[in-house]
Amino acid sequence: MISFEKFKNKKIAILWYGKEGKSSLHFLIKIWVLPRDITILDGAKKIEGLAESFEYIHQTFAISPDFNVVLGETYLDTLKRFDLIIKTPGVSIYHEKIYPYRHKITSQAQIFFDYYQGKIIAVSGTKGKSTTSTIIYETLKNAKKNVQLVGNIGNPVLNYLDSQNLESQKKEYTVFEVSSYMLEGLKKKNYISVLLNIYADHIDWHAGFENYKDAKINLLNGSKYNMLRDEIVKKQKFKKQELNDMHVRIFWHTGNYTYQEWIFYADKKNIFTDDSIVLKGEHNMMNISAVVGICDIMNINYKILEKTLATFIWLPHRMENIWIYWWITWIDDAISTTPESTIQAIQTFGKKIDTIFLWGTDRGYVFDELIKTIIEYGIRNVVLFPDSGKRIFNAIKGKDAWEIKIFQTDDMKEAVKFAYKYTENGKMVLLSTASPSYSIRKNFEEKWNLFKKHIKELI
């Protein structure tokens, strides 16, 4: 019988008390860790709704919520007191005060992989993991599998672990969208892993690209089967024996599962065309070629995948047509926060794009290919927000692209007015910012809400 002994009689810290922190607390209570052995650590001076959260625990679990709470600037000074630290993904393990205690740290992802008894299909990549995870999930549902979708895409993963009856989940499948934060130091055993791509991202959190890349490659460890994009095989210079040892199946332009001239192939056999697929863009065809491999491994009829794709639409904020006003189409691609994903959006809509919005936190991304793509596709108007906008401006001018009209601002209303004034009728305005939003906005949803709000004000 599986037990949770490693949590018993330990001093346990929950590092940050947001949505996932609350979930971790509930998990610990369900496995009978005593409240006095649990400490909440958070850098905030005050946690909104903490009293209500504790009252909920009191009413639901019939226990006295005498947890320890440490808030404010010194909250990391107490780490040495604990036997185990459950860390939220957003907190970097490379923080100078956290790194010395990395041997004590676990995560919801690690706990889930340790205790979940069903089969896990883990999906990661710098971009495309949400779409791919959801296609896999929908395909398995249509194949009448007992499946759940968890991880980066939804609620905290421990919400989906039946800690009271672990054996009950043996016949389930879980599609788990795994971020690089979750993969850092993760030790796992699972059914299938899918690695889509590796671009420079989250460099600050991982203290450098090499650590970020290693975290992504860690997805391949401990899997019964691995689906790996051909580009990664080439860049990482994997030897044939390594690929065999990791049970790798390769997808995209070369390998076991490919897409060429509107046709998907499995081991060079034509299986279906892209005629009925709602999703557009080369990047989505790449995602689908990976799912073809999942179907092959699981003996799911390709017709079920084809039927799934005939009704599957874009995820929110990923190349959504949100408004047509005065013959101008406004496209929401707010979730694109790397140069590579913005390039994908430009390639999808092509020369219909007349104006693009770029902005966000300057993470040191290289914008050369993005600027080359903007010039190649004839985008005439570029709106630049801080902080990355400064470097993009200099790079565009460095290409002698003086015919491009550039507007620098930190005001979305003024940006929308500029786009409306200068975008040609019948063309598109694309919000696809190539950097995260944190420099001047809380998240990409806030960015999108402002975009939509000020478009509506044009009426």
Instruction: Tell me the per-residue pLDDT of 142-186, one tens digit each, with 9 for 90 and over.
Output: 999 999 999 865 578 999 999 999 999 999 999 999 988 899 999
pTM, 2 dp: 0.76
Per-residue model confidence (pLDDT) at position 203:
67
Phi, psi of 184 (to 5 degrees): -60, 110
Confidence check: pLDDT of 291 > 80: yes
Mean pLDDT score, 373-391:
88
Mutual orientation of helices 129-142 and 302-309 as an angle, nearest 10°? 120
Instruction: Please give the C-alpha separations between residue 273 and each of 60, 161, 322, in angstroms, as whole numbers.
Output: 52, 38, 28
For residue 388, give the DSSP letter: H
Cα(159)–Cα(297) distance, integer angstroms: 28
Top CATH class of 109-309 equals alpha beta
Tokens describing residue 97: 């005060």
Confidence check: pLDDT of 438 > 50: no
CB 290 within 8 A of CB 195: no
Mean pLDDT score, 1-9:
86
Q: Write down the mean pLDDT value for the chain.
A: 89
Confidence check: pLDDT of 451 > 90: no
CB 150 within 8 A of CB 121: no
Beta-carbon count within 10 A of 7 CB:
20
Domain chopping of the chain, boundaries: 5-105, 109-309, 320-456
Confidence check: pLDDT of 123 > 50: yes
Range from 57-61, 152-156, 223-227, 249-253 carrying the lowest mean pLDDT: 152-156
Beta-carbon count within 10 A of 39 CB:
19
Tokens describing residue 350: 């092509």
Cis bond before residue 387 (omega within 30° of 0): yes
CB 342 within 8 A of CB 433: yes
223 or 410, higher pLDDT: 223
Domain 5-105: assigned CATH number:
3.40.50.720
Residue 11: exposed, middle, or buried by beta-carbon count in 10 A (0-12, 13-18, 19+)? middle
Cα(68)–Cα(154) distance, integer angstroms: 28
Cα(27)–Cα(210) distance, integer angstroms: 33
Sheet-wide strand order for 68-71:
68-71, 38-42, 12-15, 84-87, 105-106
Q: What percent of the chain has pLDDT over 70?
A: 91
Per-residue model confidence (pLDDT) at position 282:
86
CB 161 within 8 A of CB 27: yes
Range from 111-125, 359-373, 381-395 carrying the lowest mean pLDDT: 359-373
Range from 44-58, 390-404, 437-451 carrying the lowest mean pLDDT: 437-451
Give per-residue pLDDT as tens, 202-239.
Answer: 666 677 888 889 999 999 999 999 999 999 999 999 99
Confidence check: pLDDT of 290 > 80: yes
Give, rounded to a whole angstrom, the gap between the first and last alpha carbons of the chain: 64
Superfamily of domain 320-456, CATH level 4: Mur ligase, C-terminal domain (3.90.190.20)
203: Cβ–Cβ under 8 A, 6 or more apart, which residues? 209, 212, 363, 364
Q: Quick check: helix, strand or coil at residue 343?
A: helix
Beta bridge partners of 147: 173
For residue 118, give the DSSP letter: S
Per-residue model confidence (pLDDT) at position 437:
54
pLDDT classification of 440: cutoffs 50, 70, 90 = very low
